[in-house]
A and B are shown apart, each in its own frame.
Chain A
C-alpha cells in the first residue's frame, strides 16, 4: 500500500518550486493576505499568544489549517525532502495515538472548512477521506494503522502545509516525541526528538533570561481541548527555501553570501511562522503546527506600511537576535535596500496592510 498522489495545478494552485530554479512567488492576492508579523516598528521576544479563533475573512487566520495557493507545490516539495531524508518524520512508539488525534483534527477541520477540496465520510470507524487537490480517495479504519500506508501523523501531514510536532505531557513538562519537519528554520527533529520543553528551546538566546519559556510552558500546560492558541515567529531566508534544515546547511548556507542591492528584492524573504497549538482529546498530547509563509522583500514593500516598518525592525533589531536568526551578516545591506521604502512617515498600530 502506498499513497498515490496526483499533483493537480489550476488557476488557484500554483505550479512552483522551492529549490533549484526557485519559481515560488506570491500572487497579488497572496501578498495582501501575507501574515506580516510586526504590529509595531520594533521587535523583541514575547509570549504573544492569542486564541486560535476564526479571524478576518480571507486572512490566514480564517481557517483552522490555512490552505493557500502554494498547497499542492508545498506537498510535492515535502515528498521530495522525505524521499531524500526519511529522518525528517519520526514518531516515538508511544505517540501513535496522538498521531490519530492529529489526523482526526485535520480531516474534520479541512472537510468542514474547505468542502470544495476535502471530504470525510464516517461509517463507525470506517472512514472515507477525499483530498481532491492531491487526487486521494481513500477508505481506512480509524485507529487501525494497518489500513494506512504510513503512520497516522505522517499520512495526514503529507497532505497538510506546515511542520508539525506532537508533545507528550509528563513530569510537569512537554516532550517533543514526534514530528514532521521539512519546512523548518534551521532546527533538527532528528536531534531534538525526545527532549523536554526547556531542552529543545535551549539554543534560543535572550528568551530564557527573560523568563519567556517558563511562562510559555505554564501557559501551555493549561491548554484545553477545543481552545487552541496561536502566535507568530519569524526569521529571514535567502531564496524561497522551505527546507532550511541543519542537515542540508552545507547545500544552502552559501546562498547567504550572494546577496547584493540588485538581487535583494527577489532573493531575500521574510519567513513568517504561524504557530498554533491544540490539546488532543485521546492522548492528552499537544499538537504544534508551524506553518511557514515566505514573502519576498519586493513583494512586501508593495504595501507601504510594511515597507516602512520592515526597514525599522531590521535596522534596529538586537544583534544577538539577528545572529540567531541567521541574517546578521546581511543586516546592513538589507536595511539599506529597505530604506528606499521608508519615508519616515508614522505607521499605524497592528499588522493589517490597510489599517
Chain B
C-alpha cells in the first residue's frame, strides 16, 4: 500500500506524509482501518523496533469501509494496544491517555481523514502544535462534513452533493477544511435555484 494520492487542492485542505519513527520517550499511535499497514511499516522502519514497541501505546478501530486489521496491530506486541468499537469510543480513551502525555512524546495518526482529524483536534486542544503530529492517510476517502447552515456534522460522506443528516438540506462538498472542527464545509446547493439538485456523484470511496 502506498500513501493516498489526493488531487491538488486549496491551501486549507490537509496534506499527509508518511509516518517515520522519531526519537521519543513515548509513542502514541492512533489508527483506523488500513492505517494498521502504516503502523506496521512505522515499526519496520525503526532502528530498534523492540525498544520502540516497549514505549508505544496504540489505539485502533475498524475503518468506515469495514476494514478491520486488529490482528496485525495486536501481533506487533506494543506495551499497550487497545481496540475501540468506533471512532467516538476511541476518542474517549485518547482523552485519558493525553492527560498523562509528557514532554518528548511522539504522536502518529494514520487511517481515514475523519479519525486523523478528530484525534488531531483533541491533541491540539491540549496545546500540541499540529506540525508536531505526524499523519499518514490510508484507506477510505469518505469525508466528515459540517453543514455551514445548521452546523451539524455528517460522517462518512461519499457523494457530492449529499443530504445533511441533521437539517436535510442538500449540500455540495467544498475542499475548505477546519482543523478546529475536523471537518470539510458543506454548502446548500440549491439556495439560489430551489429544488434544482444535480444527481449525487460518488466522489469519496
Interface of A with B (CB < 8 Å)? 87, 171, 188, 190-195, 198-203, 208, 246-250, 253-254, 256-257, 329
A-B contact pairs, 8 of them (CB 8 A): A192-B178, A193-B180, A195-B178, A200-B12, A202-B10, A203-B10, A249-B148, A250-B149
A247 touches B192 (CB 8 A): no
Q: For residue B174, which residue of chain A has the nearest CB?
A: A203
Interface residues on B, range: 20 to 34
Chain B positions 165-198 with a Cβ under 8 Å from a chain A Cβ: 169, 174-181, 185, 187-188, 191-194
Is the CB–CB distance between B181 and A191 below 8 Å?
A: yes
How far is A200 from B178 in the complex, measured between Cα atoms in Å? 9
The smallest C-beta distance from A213 to any residue of chain B, in angstroms, reads 8
Q: Is the CB of B11 within 8 A of A191?
A: no
Contact B185 A249 (CB under 8 A): no
Q: Which of B28-85 contact A (CB under 8 A)?
A: none
Complex: how many Å from CA A250 to CA B171? 11
Any A CB within 8 A of the CB of B134: no
Give, as a whole number of angstroms, the nearest-CB distance from A302 to chain B.
Answer: 30
Give the chain A neighbours of B179 by CB distance below 8 A.
194-195
A191 to B187, CA, bound (A): 12
Q: Which of A87, A203, A254, A257 contacts B151 (CB 8 A)?
A: A87
Bound: A201/B12 CA distance, A: 8
A13 to B11, CA, bound (A): 43
What 1/0 mask marks residues of chain B from 138 to 151 whose CB sits below 8 Å from any chain A CB?
Answer: 00000000101101
A195 to B188, CA, bound (A): 23
Further pairs besides A202-B176, A250-B169: 11, Cβ < 8 Å: A171-B129, A171-B131, A190-B151, A191-B176, A191-B178, A191-B185, A199-B177, A200-B12, A246-B149, A247-B148, A254-B194
CB neighbours (8 Å) of A208 from chain B are 10-11
Give chain A residues whose Cβ lies under 8 Å from the Cβ of B193: 254, 257
Beta-carbon nearest neighbor of B185 in chain A: A191
Residues of B with C-beta under 8 A to A257: 192-193
B3 at the interface (CB under 8 A from A): no
Q: A-B pairs with the 6 shortest C-beta distances?
A: A253-B191, A202-B12, A194-B180, A202-B10, A199-B12, A202-B11
Question: Which residue of A171, A191, A257 has the most chain B CB atoms within 10 A of its CB atom?
Answer: A191
Overall SS of chain B's interface: loop
B positions within 8 Å CB-CB of A: 10-13, 129, 131, 146, 148-149, 151, 169, 174-181, 185, 187-188, 191-194
Interfacial chain B residues near A198, Cβ < 8 Å: 11-12
Least CB distance, B161 to chain A, in whole angstroms: 14
From the candidates A188, A200, A256, name the one contacting B148 in the complex (CB within 8 A). Answer: A188
Asked whether B176 lies within 8 Å of A249 as measured between CB atoms, the reply is no
> B151 contacts A194, CB within 8 Å?
no
Chain B residues with CB under 8 Å of A190's CB are 148, 151
Contact B191 A254 (CB under 8 A): yes
- CB neighbours of A199 from chain B (8 A): 11-12, 177
> What separation, in Å, do the CA atoms of A188 and B185 have in the docked complex?
10
Cα(A188)–Cα(B188), bound, Å: 14
Chain B nearest Cβ from A190, distance in angstroms: 7
Interfacial chain B residues near A191, Cβ < 8 Å:
146, 148, 176, 178, 181, 185
Q: In the complex, what's the smallest C-beta–C-beta distance from A324 to chain B, in angstroms?
A: 12
Q: Which of B10, B149, B181, B194 contacts A249 (CB 8 A)?
A: B149
- Chain A's closest residue to B194 (CB) is A254
Q: Are the C-beta atoms of A246 and B181 separated by less than 8 Å?
A: no
Question: Which residues of chain B are within 8 angstroms of A256 by Cβ–Cβ distance?
Answer: 192
Shortest Cβ distance from A256 into B: residue = B192
Nearest CB of B to A165, in Å: 15
Q: How far is it, in angstroms, between the C-alpha of A289 and the C-alpha of B110 when the chains are bound? A: 40
Q: Give every chain B residue within 8 A of A329 (Cβ-Cβ).
A: 192
Which of A193, A200, A202 has the largest count of B CB atoms less than 10 A from its CB? A202
